[in-house]
Amino acid sequence: MSDSQWKQYFDQKAATHGASVKSSDYFDDTSFFVQRDHIHRWLGELKGKQILDAGCGVGAFSEPWVKDNTVHGVDFSVKSLEFAASRGLKTLNGDLGALPFANGMFDVVVCIGVIQLIPEVEPIIAELARVTKPGGVLLVQTLHSGSVQRKLLGLFERTKKFDRMYSMTELAQLFTRLGFPTVDFLKQYHPLRVVTQGAGRNSLTDLFCTSFAIRGRKGNG
């Protein structure tokens, strides 16, 4: 779908489901919050940080950080941003490919469940990398192209709603090119509430990994 179609899609979702994570296209609250809690623990305690939630939707993912940090949320769905603002995010209706922030502004940048909606992801991640400070963390979560489950579902997906899925190797190479010399992964195995973490990939268990988060720390060079 085009950007305008996606915007209309998520505005309608937010109008229907309100502040619920169903507005961000999750099937139910439980699976979303399990995923969120795993990623938050993986990142560790954050205090006094400048944080960007890129593609924040209704703001549910980054809401727990609001108390002790400054959290900015950018999204193209105006209706979703109304709920994100009510959760305490400093919201901006904008384009992830042209962020109005200075180089190296953020200690932590997260982009959760967004890039599978974007046909050309490299310019977006390059822009997220630009606003990440040297020594800061960029985390991107998405669907796993190598998942057996995803491949089977693709046989029955008539709408082709998701434009792309990515491999861990593909995103690791992109992160390296953009100045993140080391990366690691948090792998999720839906519908099981199981995650594994580490730098390794291409193992047999990765066939059953349905989505993953990649985390990189920006080099100082």
Which domains, and CATH codes, for the chain?
3-217 (3.40.50.150)
Query: Phi, psi (5° rounding) for residue 39?
Result: -70, -40
Q: Looking at residue 182, what is its pLDDT?
A: 92
Mean pLDDT by 10 residues, the chain (221 residues): 76 80 68 87 96 96 97 95 96 95 98 89 97 98 71 50 76 96 88 72 72 93 61
Q: Looking at residue 99, what is its pLDDT?
A: 97
Contact 186, 168 (CB under 8 A): no
Q: Looking at residue 51, what is its pLDDT?
A: 98
Q: Looking at residue 55, what is its pLDDT?
A: 95
Cβ burial 147-156 (10 Å sphere, 16+ → b, else e): beebeeeeee
Q: How far is CA 58 from CA 35, 104, 109, in A?
A: 16, 25, 17
Q: Looking at residue 82, what is its pLDDT?
A: 95
Q: Looking at residue 156, what is its pLDDT?
A: 46
3 state DSSP class of 170: helix
